Amino acid sequence: MKHPSYEYLGFDHPAEHVACVTLKHPARLNAINGIMLRELDRAVRYIMRDDTVRVWLLKGSPREDGRPCFSAGVDLKAIDEGIPMERHLGPRVTDAIDDMLKPSIALIDGVASTGAVELALACDFRLVGEQAQISDWHLKHLGSGLGAWGSPTRWLELVGATVTKEVILTGKVLDAGEGLRTGFATAAVGSARLFDAGLSMARTIAAMDPGGVKSALAHIQQSGAPARDHSLKLAQQMPQWFGPGESFAARARKLRRDEAKSG
């Protein structure tokens, strides 16, 4: 298969039957603009079709100063700068990751917020580094606690109602220890060892019978699918009942005005 080229993603094969997708926009903390999201959609679909890939990793590139970073979420400034964000793509990508019968491992260190956390929540596993700062600021930044890519549903499934409420309603930031304790993370390791830990897990899974992995995933996913799909649909309907909160575009314009005033 011919591999597509990317502007805001890295894509490589660090081991046999293992792919790695890297969010690459360090100047903006790997924030997700419309181009990156389209590229991620292509990368996920490529992985789905490529029979040589049995498991894959999702990570972020380091910040410009070298500190670890997953992603700050959707790039609101890019929207105001004229890079459109196709509203259907976020849910499509997260659902595709969630439904894929090839295990996914998110490697999270440094900043991981809002839309980026929605990507991580859709993965099968989440390993966190010691500098991880995990947050869901849909309510804090957009006036709506309903992440359009499925965050309330997937938070609830992973950590339960009380932690979900605390993270969304108070804007609490979870560190690595809290991520592990609450059930968000599969494991917490030192930042220097995060990639190796994820790659070791990926190699272990890749060595299993691929048909057996697919059948196990299919059974697990379908067992919980009715409740999950109902909850995701409900989240899409909620804005019609209670108001949509602030749009990405409106929030982006406000950020630009605030920056102009402070400058």
Distances from the Cα of 54 to the Cα of 102, 122, 203, 252, angstroms: 6, 17, 9, 39
Residue 61 main-chain phi, psi, to 5 deg: -80, 155
Extract the tokens encoding 110.
């440094």
Q: Is 230 exposed, middle or buried (0-12, 13-18, 19+ CB in 10 A)?
A: exposed
- pLDDT confidence of residue 152: 83
Residue 39 main-chain phi, psi, to 5 deg: -65, -40
Instruction: Domain 9-210: give its CATH code.
Output: 3.90.226.10
Extract the tokens encoding 155.
């938070």
- pLDDT confidence of residue 250: 56
- pLDDT confidence of residue 123: 97
- pLDDT confidence of residue 57: 98
- pLDDT confidence of residue 142: 77
- pLDDT confidence of residue 141: 80
Q: Is 198 exposed, middle or buried (0-12, 13-18, 19+ CB in 10 A)?
A: buried
- pLDDT confidence of residue 241: 42
Low-confidence ranges of the chain (pLDDT < 50): 230, 237-238, 241-242
- pTM of the entire structure? 0.86
| Axis crossing angle, helix 89-99 with helix 115-122, rounded to the nearest 10 | 20
Beta bridge partners of 187: 127
Distance CA 229, CA 161 (A): 18
Distances from the Cα of 69 to the Cα of 27, 56, 257, angstroms: 11, 19, 27
In b/e form, how buried is each residue of 68-95, taking b as 16+ CB within 10 angstroms? bbbbbbbbbbbbbeeeebeeeebbbbbb
Yes or no: say if 111 and 29 are a contact pair by the CB < 8 Å rule. Answer: yes
Yes or no: say if 114 and 175 are a contact pair by the CB < 8 Å rule. Answer: no
Distance CA 72, CA 198 (A): 21
Q: In what order do the strands lie in the sheet with 187-189?
A: 9-15, 18-23, 55-60, 104-108, 125-129, 187-189
Yes or no: say if 167 and 174 are a contact pair by the CB < 8 Å rule. Answer: yes
Tell me the residue ranges of DSSP E strands in 114-205.
Answer: 125-129, 133-135, 187-189
- pLDDT confidence of residue 50: 96
